[in-house]
C-alpha cells in the first residue's frame, strides 16, 4: 500500500520545483474555472502567464511592477524566516511614500542633487517608524504583530486620504485630491533613456544580492534562521528573539518604505488616493513563491509582476475583470501551500513493521 | 438628546455589532479547537457576495442567508484542506484565503455593483417592531436574535457539554486527545466549518442588512477586527459579546459624528478609529497580564499530524 512518509529533511529538488508546479497547476485550474464561469479560459491564462513574458515591449512594465514587489518581499521573507509576521507592509509602503513626499513638498522651490537622497532617507525612515509600532508592542507586550501591523495599514491609508484631500492638496490642482507633481530633482531617474525603467529596478536586484549575502554569509542571517526554526536553541545560543524581532521588523518596514518612496517619486510623481495598489499584500505571495530565498524572490517578483501586466492585457483581450488578477495570485499561493506537502513528505510503499 | 435619537443610535449600534459578533464567535470556536484561521475577512467577503447574489437573483432573503453560510463553509474548507490535511502553515493559508476572498468576491460581484435589495426586515409584527422605544428589543431582524442565541449556545456548548470539552481538549493538547482516541483533524474540520458558516453569515449581514447592496471589499477589514476581538475576549463568548458591542459603538461614532455635523474632526480620522481602537484594546489586554498568550488555547496555530 502507498503511504505518506515524513522526509528526514526537506527535499531540495522539490523545494526548487514546487513554485514551478504551483504555477502550472494554477494555469490549469484557472483555465478550467474561468471557462466554467463563461470566459475564454485558455486565452485568459495565456494573457496573464505567457503574453507578458513573450512580448519584449512588456518587459519594462514587468520591471516597474516587479521592483516594489521584490523590495518588499525581501524584507518580509527575512521576517517570516524568524517567525515575525509583518503583514502590514502595505501600510509601511504608504507611510514611506508619505514621509518622502513630505520632504518633496518642503523642498518644492529648491534645487540640488541632495533632494532625492533626502526623500529616499525619509521614505526608509517613514516605513521603519510605522513598523516600529508593531515591533515595540510585540517585544514589550507580546501583542501579535499580525493584527497590529495590519490595523496600521488601514490607518496609513486613511492618513494618506486625509493629506491629499486636506493639507497637502495641490493648490493648482483644480481641487482634485492629489499633491503637487514632483520636480525634476525629486523624480527618480530612468536608467534606459525614454523608457519606464527607473532606478528602482537595478536597486531591487542589488538589494536581492545584499539580502542573500546577509542571510547566507553573516551571523545576523544565521541568528534569524535559528530564532525561526528553534527558538529554544536560539535562546541557548545567545541569540535574542527580541533583537531579531526589532531587526526584521525595521528591515522589512524600511524596505517597504523605500519601495513606496520609489513608487511615488517614480511612476506616480505625486501622491493620489489611488496610490495604495496592494503591493504590500502581493509581496507576501512573492515571498512564499520565492521560497523565502532572496534570489527566489526575484523570480517570484517577476512572475507576480507578470500577472499584473497580464491581468491588464486580459482585460482587453478576453474582457476579464480586473479582480481576476487577485484571484489568480491567491490561487497561486494556495497551490504553492498545497504542493509544499511534497517538500516535507514523500509517497512510498508501506514498509512492513520490523 | 431626545429619546428618539437615543433609540436610533442604539439600533445602529446593534446593527454594526452583529456581523462582528458572528464572525468572531465562529473564529472563537475554531481557535478553541487549536486552529488559527486568519482568513475571516476572506470568508466574510465570500458570504457577503454569495448572499447578495442569491438574494438579488431569487428575491428570497432566506435563500440568500443560506447561500452565504454555504459560501463561508466552502471557503473554510479550502483552508481546512490546506492547513489541516496538508499541514500547511496556518498564517500563510489564512492570508491566502483573505486574498482569495477579496478576488473571488470582486469577480462574482462585478455584475452586482450598485444594485440594491430590500433590507432584511424585523420579524415581529409592526405594532412591536415599530414601537418608538420597544423596537430596540422587538425591532431587530432574525440574524440579530440568532447571533445572541449563538453566543449563549456556544458558551453552553464549550462549558457544559461533552462535545465542547473534547473540542477544548483538542485545542489544548492535540497529542493527548489523539492518544485517547479522538479524531483531532475531523474535530478541527468541524470547528473550522462552523467558523466559516458564521463568517459567511456575518458577511451577508453587510450586504443584506447594513448597506444593503454590494460593493467591492464591502467588509473593509472587519474580519481582522473580529480576529482581534477573539483575543480581547480571552476566548470567552460572554466577553466576546461585550467586545463586539463596544466595537460596534466605535464604528457607529463615525456615522453619528457625520450626522451631527461634526466638522472640526476630519472624516478620515473618524474612519481610523476602529483600527486604532483595536490596537489600543490589544495593548491593554497585554498590559493586564504577564504573558500575551496566557488564555490562548495551547495548540493554537500548530499543525497536527497523527504519526
pLDDT of residue B252: 85
Lowest mean pLDDT among A41-55, B221-235, B251-265: B251-265
- Decide if B129 contacts B73 (C-beta within 8 A): no
Residue A243 lies in a domain: yes
User: For A336, which residue in chain B has the nearest alpha carbon?
Assistant: B88
Residue A15 lies in a domain: no
- CB within 8 A of A324, min separation 6: which ones? A34, A44, A48, A311, A314, B103, B107
- Decide if B199 contacts B223 (C-beta within 8 A): yes
Nearest to B17 by CA among B178, B217, B170, B240: B240
Instruction: Say whether B282 and A326 touch across the interface (CB within 8 A).
Output: no
> Which residues from A are below 8 Å from B268, CB to CB?
158-159, 161-162, 165
Report the distance separating Cα B127 and Cα A306, nearest Å.
60
> Which residues from A are below 8 Å from B231, CB to CB?
144, 147
Kindly report, residue by residue over B200-239, the tens digit of the pLDDT.
Answer: 999 999 999 998 889 888 888 899 999 999 998 989 999 9
> Which residues from B are below 8 Å from A321, CB to CB?
106-107, 110
Could you give the number of structural domains in chain A?
A: 1
pLDDT of residue B292: 47
Split at pLDDT 50, 70, 90, the class of B1 is low
Report the distance separating Cα A253 and Cα A79, nearest Å.
10
Give the CA count within 13 Å in the CB-facing half-sphere of B150.
26
- Decide if A64 contacts A263 (C-beta within 8 A): no
Q: Mean of the pLDDT values across residues A129-154?
A: 94
Domain membership of residue A115 as a residue range? 68-313
Report the distance separating Cα A22 and Cα A331, nearest Å.
9
- Decide if B91 contacts B83 (C-beta within 8 A): no
Report the distance separating Cα A147 and Cα A85, nearest Å.
9
Query: Which DSSP helix (H) or strand (E) runs through B73?
Result: helix B61-80
Assess whether pLDDT exceeds 80 at residue A24: yes
Report the distance separating Cα A160 and Cα B268, nearest Å.
9
Residue A19 lies in a domain: no
Residue A61 lies in a domain: no
DSSP state of A9: S
pLDDT of residue B4: 86
Nearest to A335 by CA among A295, A288, A272: A288
Name the residue facing B99 among A150, A165, A329 (closest C-beta): A329
| CATH code at B3-287 | 1.10.3470
Assess whether pLDDT exceeds 70 at residue A114: yes
pLDDT of residue B167: 96
How far A78 CA lies from chain B's nearest CA (Å)?
Answer: 15
- What ipTM was assigned to the predicted interfaces of this complex? 0.89
Helix, strand and coil in chain B, % to nearest 5:
75, 0, 25
Phi, psi of A190 (to 5 degrees): -90, 150
How many percent of chain A have pLDDT more than 90? 71
Kindly report, residue by residue over B59-103, the tens digit of the pLDDT.
Answer: 999 999 999 999 999 999 999 999 999 989 899 999 999 999 999
Kindly report, residue by residue over A264-309, the tens digit of the pLDDT.
Answer: 999 999 999 999 999 999 999 999 999 999 999 999 999 999 999 9
Give the CA count within 13 Å in the CB-facing half-sphere of A167.
11
Instruction: Give the residue extent of every domain in chain B.
Output: 3-287
Split at pLDDT 50, 70, 90, the class of A354 is very low
Amino acid at each position: 500500500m502507498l503511504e505518506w512518509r515524513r522526509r528526514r529533511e526537506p527535499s531540495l529538488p522539490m523545494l526548487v520545483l514546487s513554485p514551478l508546479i504551483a504555477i502550472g497547476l494554477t494555469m490549469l485550474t484557472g483555465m478550467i474555472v474561468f471557462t466554467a464561469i463563461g470566459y475564454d479560459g485558455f486565452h485568459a491564462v495565456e494573457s496573464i502567464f505567457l503574453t507578458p513574458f513573450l512580448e519584449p515591449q512588456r518587459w519594462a512594465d514587468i520591471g516597474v511592477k516587479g521592483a516594489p514587489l521584490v523590495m518588499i518581499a525581501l524584507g518580509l521573507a527575512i521576517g517570516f524566516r524568524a517567525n515575525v509576521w509583518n503583514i502590514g507592509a502595505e501600510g509601511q509602503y504608504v507611510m514611506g511614500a508619505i514621509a518622502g513626499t513630505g520632504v518633496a513638498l518642503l523642498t518644492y522651490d529648491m534645487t540640488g542633487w541632495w533632494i532625492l537622497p533626502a526623500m529616499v532617507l525619509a521614505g526608509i525612515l517613514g516605513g521603519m517608524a510605522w513598523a516600529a509600532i508593531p515591533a515595540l508592542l510585540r517585544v514589550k507586550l507580546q501583542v501579535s504583530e499580525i493584527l497590529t501591523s495590519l490595523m496600521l495599514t488601514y490607518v496609513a491609508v486613511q492618513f494618506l486620504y486625509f493629506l491629499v484631500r486636506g493639507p497637502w492638496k495641490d493648490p493648482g490642482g483644480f481641487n482634485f485630491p492629489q499633491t503637487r507633481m514632483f520636480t525634476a530633482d525629486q523624480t527618480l531617474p530612468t536608467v534606459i533613456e525614454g523608457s519606464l525603467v527607473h532606478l528602482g529596478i537595478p536597486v531591487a536586484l542589488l538589494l536581492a544580492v545584499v539580502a542573500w549575502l546577509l542571510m547566507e554569509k553573516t551571523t545576523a542571517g544565521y541568528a534569524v534562521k535559528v530564532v525561526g526554526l528553534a527558538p529554544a536553541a536560539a535562546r541557548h545560543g545567545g541569540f535574542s528573539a527580541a533583537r531579531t524581532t526589532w531587526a526584521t521588523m525595521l528591515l522589512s518596514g524600511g524596505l517597504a518604505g523605500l519601495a513606496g518612496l520609489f513608487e511615488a517619486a517614480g511612476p506616480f510623481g505625486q501622491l493620489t488616493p489611488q496610490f495604495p495598489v496592494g503591493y504590500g499584500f502581493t509581496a507576501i505571495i512573492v515571498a512564499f513563491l520565492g521560497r523565502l530565498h532572496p534570489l527566489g524572490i526575484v523570480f517570484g517578483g517577476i512572475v507576480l509582476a507578470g500577472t499584473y501586466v497580464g491581468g491588464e492585457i486580459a482585460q482587453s483581450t478576453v474582457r476579464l475583470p480586473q479582480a481576476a488578477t487577485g484571484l489568480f495570485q491567491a490561487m497561486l499561493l494556495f497551490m504553492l501551500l498545497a504542493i509544499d506537502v511534497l517538500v516535507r513528505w514523500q509517497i512510498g510503499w508501506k514498509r512492513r513493521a520490523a | 438628546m431626545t429619546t428618539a435619537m437615543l433609540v436610533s443610535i442604539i439600533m445602529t449600534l446593534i446593527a454594526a455589532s452583529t456581523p462582528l459578533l458572528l464572525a468572531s464567535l465562529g473564529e472563537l470556536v475554531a481557535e478553541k479547537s487549536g486552529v488559527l484561521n486568519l482568513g475571516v475577512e476572506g470568508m466574510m467577503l465570500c458570504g457577503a457576495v454569495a448572499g447578495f447574489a442569491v438574494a438579488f437573483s431569487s428575491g428570497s432573503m432566506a435563500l440568500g442567508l443560506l447561500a452565504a453560510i454555504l459560501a463561508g463553509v466552502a471557503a473554510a474548507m479550502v483552508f481546512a484542506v490546506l492547513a489541516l490535511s496538508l499541514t500547511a502553515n496556518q498564517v500563510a493559508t489564512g492570508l491566502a484565503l483573505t486574498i482569495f476572498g477579496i478576488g473571488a468576491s470582486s469577480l462574482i460581484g462585478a455584475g452586482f455593483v450598485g444594485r440594491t435589495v430590500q433590507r432584511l426586515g424585523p420579524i415581529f409584527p409592526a405594532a412591536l417592531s415599530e414601537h418608538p422605544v420597544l423596537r430596540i428589543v422587538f425591532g431587530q431582524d432574525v440574524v440579530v436574535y440568532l447571533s445572541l442565541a449563538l453566543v449563549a449556545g456556544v458558551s453552553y456548548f464549550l462549558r457544559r457539554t461533552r462535545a465542547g470539552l473534547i473540542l477544548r481538549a483538542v485545542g489544548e493538547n492535540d497529542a493527548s486527545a489523539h492518544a485517547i482516541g479522538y479524531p483531532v483533524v475531523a474535530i478541527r474540520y468541524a470547528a473550522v466549518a462552523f467558523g466559516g458558516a458564521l463568517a459567511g453569515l456575518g458577511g451577508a449581514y453587510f450586504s443584506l442588512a447594513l448597506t444593503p447592496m454590494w460593493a467591492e471589499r464591502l467588509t473593509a477589514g472587519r474580519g481582522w477586527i473580529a480576529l482581534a476581538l477573539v483575543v480581547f475576549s480571552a476566548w470567552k463568548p460572554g466577553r466576546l459579546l461585550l467586545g463586539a458591542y463596544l466595537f460596534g459603538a466605535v464604528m457607529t461614532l463615525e456615522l453619528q459624528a457625520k450626522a451631527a455635523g461634526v466638522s472640526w474632526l476630519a472624516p478620515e480620522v473618524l474612519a481610523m478609529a476602529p483600527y486604532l481602537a483595536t490596537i489600543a484594546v490589544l495593548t491593554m489586554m497585554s498590559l493586564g497580564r504577564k504573558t500575551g498568550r496566557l488564555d490562548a488555547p495551547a495548540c493554537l496555530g500548530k499543525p497536527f499530524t497523527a504519526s
